[in-house]
Structure 1
Amino acid sequence: MNFLEIAQYMACAVFLTIAVIHWLVWLRAHREIVHLLFAVTSAAAGANAIAEAVMYRADSIDAMSSALRWYVATSGCWAVATVCFIVSYTSIGRIGRYVAATIVAACLIAMVLNVFSPASFLYTELTGLREITLPWGERLWLAIGEDNPWRLASELAFVVIIGLVADGCYHLWQREERRRAIIFAAAVMVFMLCFGTHAFFVDTGRLDSPYLSTYGFLALVGFTSYDLAGEVMRTSELSSKLAQRESDLRTAVADERNRIAGELHDSVTQTLFSTAAIADALPEVWRRKPDEAMRGLEELKHLTRGALAEMRTLLLELHPATLLEKDLETLLRQLADSMTERTRIPIQLEIDGKMHFPEEVQIAFYRVAQESLNNISRHAHATKVWLSLVCDAPNATLTIRDDGSGFEVATDAAGMGLAIMRERVAAIAGELNVHSESKRGTTITLRWNRHSRIGGDDDN
């Protein structure tokens, strides 16, 4: 049984299978030209493996001459495809691209000369055949002849390809793609070791062995395909995560719209409804009880101010960029005024010191204050609220305190939105403390240190 021939055809099948896989990958993402070039390279290696198997069976000079011509032609296509793949895979610099273009041009010239050479590009004349018997009894034949002077140029081209690979691995290393650089360099070393064995030992008759370059390149293709497959998987995973984030974002936007719609209905709409009812009743009340009508006018004033303050707050929700256009002190005053006008709960606001906050920190402070005040208005039954911001660089402390009914922090945290608060504070590397006692109110404290933020802005 011709084990070597079977091995050659199996290698070809592996090459073509990998080629088809990466061709299909390229069809899914046309911008990934590296997969197309790798598919062409692998297919050319498969064709070269078949040409090599045919050459081993050429037992006459005429048959060997024809087989060599096909072997050199497929080797040239293989070399051109490999160089183009290296350029795309490693993204080498301009000089490397010029070198690659020179190698490709040399290979194309060699392929043209191969068509018109009497004994292929490798030999000017075939003088005989060297028969080799493998340990298991299989026989194969290799050519003996006068070397073509241009053959040295083609072998030098392979040496230059090693330099091209080294330059590509260097660029990969510089771009922090070290895993890819190591895998590719190791695979190329294995291939060049196999290629050097047949170029310097088998061809010169020092070693009776079949060529090993096919199997060396098979190792290279296997390692590289593994790396490219990993990249495809990472890209697919990132695409899935991106799709999930887009879905979460759409859900969050819908939830936010529903929340704002609910706020409009529960606050502004109800306030305007009450305002309209009082305005309708005022003329009749004025005729009968002027004093009571004056109290109605006062109530009307509070209601309209409350609706105006609430609308300003909701406009901030609709235009989040406004949260960054104003300083935190102004935003906190607006929150306090809105709640006071809406709920009639007095809020004592204290601002001590100034600090320029990074964008994400300012938004986190505002959202914590907003959620805390909303919780107070809905659940605390408070009669007074204290809101303070103390900026003592590099520290900033926000405190919201009320004299309401309090709650059990361990059991009521989910309903009070504390989990969301803690996530916001954790995102800015801050500290959130919640202290509450039944019938003795609640205190929420947010502390942030500028030095805990990497890349934070300097204090003004």
Structure 2
Amino acid sequence: MYKLRAFNMKWQLLNYFLISSIISASSFYIVLEYFQEALTSWEFRLWFIIAVIAVCLSVGYVATKRWQRKVDELHLAMLEISKGNFSSRIEIEPVEPFLYLYDAFNTMASAIEERVQLLQKLGEAEAIRDQELTEVAVMEERRRLARDLHDTVSQELFAIHMSASSLPKILERNPDAAAGMMNQLIQMSHHAQKQMRGLISQLRPIELNDMSLQEALEKWFPEYCRTHELQGQLDVMVGGAMSEAIEHQFFLIIQEGLANVVKHASATQVRLAIYEREHQYVLQLQDDGQGFERSDIPSASHGLSTMRERAQKLGGQVEIDSKIGLGTRVRVKIPRFAEQTLAPTSVKEEE
């Protein structure tokens, strides 16, 4: 089968050479047969040669244009795959000299699409397992906080209660010592209040908690920006519902990215945008901070590598664009697959 297809391709190319040769030979035969006297004129010979060359070039142009169009179709299909459009296929005509090449490309694209879909499903399953493990870890952390609450704040409150209970007797017997006791009570209550705030802060949930990603961000993002003195702008433009795993990973990536902005960027403004394309979900986090050079990434790349790992779990990728003094832009792209498998479509360049 492969030899037959390759033969058809070579045979078609040979046809163009044959047509060009027949035209040239016929032209020479006609001139020699019917225009022998005119051959004595150099002008006639010159125009005859120009005419033969023009006809041969026209045949060659038709051939190369058709073959170039086939190569361009393959090139555009490869670009679509590189952009994340894994459903891109090349339409194959019944008589097609590139049949074996197009068929191999379509087979390869189908295999890539299946593997990326499988990778995303495995990543979603792993993300759900991680979330379950996180819930277990949260329960253990709450137990630890309960023990800390008992060992610290509870004891502080007990000491305050005992001191306050003894204060009336001290006022009766030694009024001068009452002032020192009251200052001690104030310090103890302030310390207990500080410990309580710390424990409450640790117990504050940072997960989605049965909310959609947009709902969670609308509640959490402005508060986070106010706390860290940032001017935040949030744009979420997603029509359909994302899977739970993608929303969860996006939320964790956003938390990691904003933590990097607070720790390293020295930024005053930050913009968070989430939108969807035909074949991708895109998350973009941009700040106006100090930026960094690519050579400096390895020295402080723990957060960035974590974001890359989370995106790669779902078959995605992370692009980082940063310049000194011009801020940093982090773009995360996750493949978006249709619920139903679509039939092969012709290649269209994405705008």
* TM-based fold match above 0.5: no
Q: Higher RCO, 1 or 2 (CA under 8 Å, sep at least 6)?
A: 2
Q: State the TM-score, normalized to the length of structure 2.
A: 0.38
Q: Specify the structure having the higher radius of gyration (Cα).
A: 1
